[in-house]
Structure 1
Amino acid sequence: MARRTRGTSAGLDRERIAAAAVALVDRDGLERFGVRRLAEELGVDPMSIYHHIRGKAALLDAVSEAVLAEVAADAGEASSGWEEVARRTAHGYRDMAYRHPKVFPLLTTRAQTSPVALAALERLFAAMRAAGLPDQVVADAPMVLFSFLNGHLLARTGGGPDGPGPMPPLDAGAHPTMAALAPLLADFGSAAEFDRMLDVVLQGIRDRAAREETP
């Protein structure tokens, strides 16, 4: 593809650059990602990208924001209180992680302070406060929820869009308890497993709120 000269916009804007960057990371991974490679994909001089997004760090933030916008679109408008907001957000986040497993590590290693990220947190904070949960529980809950989501999804998306492979057979002689429980671990990485673990997290938030509300 012929490259446009420095300063030529080629119809670029932040949204188009971010979408191309997401596609490039999806294909080649973060290790190979850089402004020059992105410029080659877009057929422009790297300075044309810097005109819209200043530096690789800002570009990575734009990539994060682009995939988080998908979560906001998936979440829709919850109408049944804070748990529905939390569940829809969690499922949208999971779906995004499986669509973009090579992008997802960015969300776990960089502070997410974009408008779309803050809007998602505001929805959850506001729903919890409206339900009357104690302020300290409201303040702590998103950290608990996203710590679970990030750790769980990093483990489950490590194998790519199709998720992790099946667990290897366990030696019942060496690990008798784990072998006995193996049938209950057979759905590793599934939506059903995700929902069970999410239930544990949300139940913990409910229990904490109930304890703090008890005089």
Structure 2
Amino acid sequence: MTRERVLEAAVALADRDGLAKLTMRGLAADLGVEAMSLYHHLPAKQALLDGVVETLLTEVSAAVAAEDEKDWRAHLRNQFLKARRVMLRHPWAPGLISSRTSVPPTVFAYYDGIVATLVRAGFDYHLAHRALHAFGSMPLGFAQEIFTVGETGGDSEADMAAMAQALPNITAMVASEIHNVTDPTLGWCDTQTEFEFTLDLLLDGLERKRKG
């Protein structure tokens, strides 16, 4: 049993049962070993979660490694959409990635490649830095949510009526943006359509800045 095998099993368990069910005891049962034997590879639950993030980002890096579009926008667009397909295979992953305080070396290497793409396209490092800020988590395949539906205060008719009175524009916007369930989603409003819309907006805007 190796650390890599343990982490692959952890990802598979989270895919099957959800991230909340990922425990050292449950993982050990899946692997057919005693829970204490896992601590040789991962000394605590936080180390397990950090390792799972590292495994996911390695999967993202492998998925986008063959990207070779000559146009920088097409290159990054395809890269980010491939990363998104990885996140859609593991819909619990964005929440976990966003919650971690440590950054695996894989992430730095991945973003270094993005900066290299921008610099080759004619960006200076100042604009490349701003581009990374603008992209946010999109290179990893998901958009960070401002808030979730659960934060609106409730689901009853009375709750919704109170929200509509206090926040008429947000309520109307949410009501108009009820998504088709066939549109792959990683959050209450992070759909494929909106991901691509935001990505195209950013890439086109950065191209204008690069030329200007």
Question: Is the shorter-chain TM-score for this pair beyond 0.5, marking a shared fold?
Answer: yes
**Farther off after superposition, 66-75 or 112-121:** 112-121
Per-residue deviation, 1:112: 6.0
Q: Which amino acid aligns with 1:207?
A: R
2:113 is aligned with 1:130: no
> In angstroms, what is the RMSD of aligned CA positions?
3.4
In the alignment, what sits opposite 1:68? 57
Per-residue deviation, 1:56: 1.4
Deviations 1:167-202 (A, max 9, x none): xxxxxxx88xx69xx59x766765444322210121
Per-residue deviation, 1:37: 1.5
Kept in 2: contact 1:39–1:46 (CA 8 A): yes
In the alignment, what sits opposite 1:167? none
Deviations 1:137-195 (A, max 9, x none): 1112223213453326x97xxxxxxxxxxxxxxxxxx88xx69xx59x76676544432
Q: Which amino acid aligns with 1:22?
A: V
What are the within-5 Å matches in structure 2 for residues 155-166 of structure 1?
none
**Farther off after superposition, 104-113 or 51-60:** 104-113
Q: Which amino acid aligns with 2:6?
A: I
What are the within-5 Å matches in structure 2 for residues 43-54 of structure 1?
43-54=32-43
State the structure with more CA Rg.
1
User: Structure 1 stretches of 5 or more lacking a match?
Assistant: 1-11, 156-173
Deviations 1:79-108 (A, max 9, x none): 415323421331122111111012331112
Per-residue deviation, 1:66: 1.4
User: Structure 2 stretches of 5 or more lacking a match?
Assistant: 149-167, 184-188
Deviations 1:16-47 (A, max 9, x none): 10111011112222223221221121111222
Aligned residues: 184
What are the within-5 Å matches in structure 2 for residues 167-182 of structure 1?
none
Kept in 2: contact 1:78–1:88 (CA 8 A): no
Per-residue deviation, 1:133: 0.7
In the alignment, what sits opposite 2:46? 57
Normalised by the size of structure 2, how large is the TM-score? Answer: 0.71
What are the within-5 Å matches in structure 2 for residues 1-215 of structure 1?
12-75=1-64, 76-111=66-101, 113-148=103-138, 149-151=142-144, 191-210=192-211, 214=212
Per-residue deviation, 1:209: 3.3
